[in-house]
Structure 1
């Protein structure tokens, strides 16, 4: 997973053409570490550059703009960016995460 800063995240969100998933975390969050391990497995089964990661501590404006309520969170954006991003807080299982990410049009 590629780590994004705020500028890179906003740029990626503006590019249309393929769906993206962004794992939002904080470094001291234990649940985030478990979710990251699951997403590292998921990443191996997805097209390259589908999944990125971002530390919400470093981008408070993004957290505010998209009303991120807690971490870990997964921000899902469709390919044509016609809908606002979906935010998923429940990480569940590797299979569930893979299904959720693949379901983004």
Structure 2
């Protein structure tokens, strides 16, 4: 979401992914992908700059999550009768549970 200001100065946050085009007529008109138009006081360049900074921050956060993700796997016992697991251990990572494809050591389930 990026901050824009209506003509009377009221702040408004808008999803930058929904902006299809920006026109200066002389007011700045944002056309959204659904056809709605929003007139804002901010210049087209300011809207573009805010969208660029927002997108860069999302990409930077994604890269940080990808590179800082722990490779540590913690095995949890699986109760007998879990559908389709056939004794496969469940692993929990920071991204949530997943099947490891390996049976737990020591015959645990």
Per the normalisation by structure 2, the TM-score is: 0.19
In our comparison, the structure showing a higher alpha carbon Rg is: 2
Q: Which has the higher contact order (CA 8 A, sep 6+)?
A: 1
Per the normalisation by structure 1, the TM-score is: 0.20
Question: Which structure's residues are more often helix, by fraction?
Answer: 1
Question: Which structure's residues are more often strand, by fraction?
Answer: 2
